[in-house]
Each structure stands twice: as structure tokens, then as C-alpha cells.
Structure 1
Amino acid sequence: LPPAVKRLAQRDKVEVRLFKVIYELLDDARQSMESLLAPEVRETEIGTLDVKGVFRTLKDLVIAGGEVTSGKVTAGLLVRVKRGDEQIAEVEVTSVQRQQQEAKEVFEGEMCGLSLKTDKKLLLEEGDKLEFFTRELVKRTLA
């Protein structure tokens, strides 16, 4: 690259890339365009629970119990709290208990207790539905 071109590129903050083969240019252009794409948010439904009782409500924690109506429940899952058809909050499961003992997972048809971490005070009620899911960011590509 001639020195005059280098100076102009630096002055104007232009990135210069040199390639020996056209395929390298195409691959580099594709990678540059893919890096500009926002990642895709992918949610996977894991299970649901009907709230049967609310035991404690604090500023950033709710302890409740209910019956798993589909799938399973594990600690670390995200939760949509629904009252009727309206979503009233999104929280996270910090722990799951079955018969007053810590449980890794609780399956459909079983009763369990949950600790839910909240950003603001959540007034959970009997009859609310909890939908458990995971959320991951997936890098998008140009197909």
C-alpha cells in the first residue's frame, strides 16, 4: 500500500484490508456484515404451574407453592407470571422445594414450593399461572 494512501486512510479513519484471492474478500465481507446483525433471542418453554398458595411476599422475593401442570420446574429458570391472559411480571426461580426439601426438578402433577427473585414487589395471588422458560441469544448468520 503506498504511503500516501496509508496516510489518507488513517486521517479519514478508513480501514484498509488487502486480499490475495477474491474468496478471502467475500468471506471477510460476510463476517463483517454478520457482526452487525443483532443476535436472535430464542425462548424455550419448559413448563407451567398453577399457584395454589402464597406464603411470603418481600420487596425482592416471593415464596409460593403450586402444582406443576406441564413440563418441569428447576431453579434458574425464567418465569412469566400471568393473571388471566395478562402477563404481570417476569421473574426468576431461585430455588425449588418438594415436601420441604430442596429439589433439583419437579415434574408435571407434583406439588412444589418456589422462591422467586423479583425486581420490584410482586403481589402474587392464588390462581395465577407461572410459565417457565429459558432465553438464549443466538448469533445470526447470513445464509
Structure 2
Amino acid sequence: ILHDSLRPQGRVLVQQMSRGAKAPGGGAFIESYIAPDMHMRPVGETVGLLEGSGLEVRDVEALREHYVLTVDAWRRTLEERWPDFVDLVGEETARVWRLYLVGGALAFEERRMGVDQILCVRPDRAGNAAMPATRREWYGADR
């Protein structure tokens, strides 16, 4: 679907929550209360699926350590605005999300979960990707 949705030389950035090859994945709690359709897989498996569709993987960035900080910031905001959150979703749902954020930060810290961004391009028929040669050029550092 992604390949066919992109024009030739089009790019897509895929972000996924991931797990190690031997880690258990989301589990019953996440599947029941947080994201019933989440299927965490190792990043290498996702890369293989993307390449198998005809996309060219250009970059993979792991953001696990960043997400330890991100999820903790979300938790602090939840605590600071607890009454507003409870008014919005109810006490039970608010408690579920508090538990998820605390557990999520720990899972990222202990390397049981990760977050990865995968940059892909759909080359044209001649194999041209129209991508700059280096990350420095991607980010416009030479401008």
C-alpha cells in the first residue's frame, strides 16, 4: 500500500513502536486498554517488509532513549492536569493511562520497547531516488 501510494521518488517516514526479537510485545494490557490494533515487531522485520514492497530504505533512527524522556514528560503533564484529564475521560481511563505512561517509560529504559523512524523512498523506473547523498544535505546544513 505504501509503495503504491507514493509517486516515483516520493518519500515516506514510518514511525513505529518496536520490540526486540525476543521481547514479548505489547501484551494483554496494551492490547485491551491502549492500542488494540498495535502490532509491535522488531525494526528489522519492518525494514524487510518495506524493502519487500519495493521501497528503498534510506535511514533508520532509534529513538528509545528520547522516548524515556518524552513519555516521562507526558506523565508529568498528566499529573499536573489530573483533574482536567479525569473530567475529560473519567477516573478509570485516567488511571489506565497513568499506569501505561509509567510502565512505558520503564519499558523504554529497560530496552523492552523502542521507537524507530524509517525513511524510505520509492525509486523511479531508472532507479533514481532523487535523494541527497548525505544526511547533512537532507537537513539543509549546506545552505
TM-score by length of 2: 0.25
Q: Relative contact order (C-alpha < 8 Å, sep 6+): which is higher?
A: 2
Q: Which one has the largest radius of gyration?
A: 1
User: What is the TM-score of this pair, normalised by structure 1?
Assistant: 0.25
Greater strand proportion: 1
Which has the larger share of helix?
2
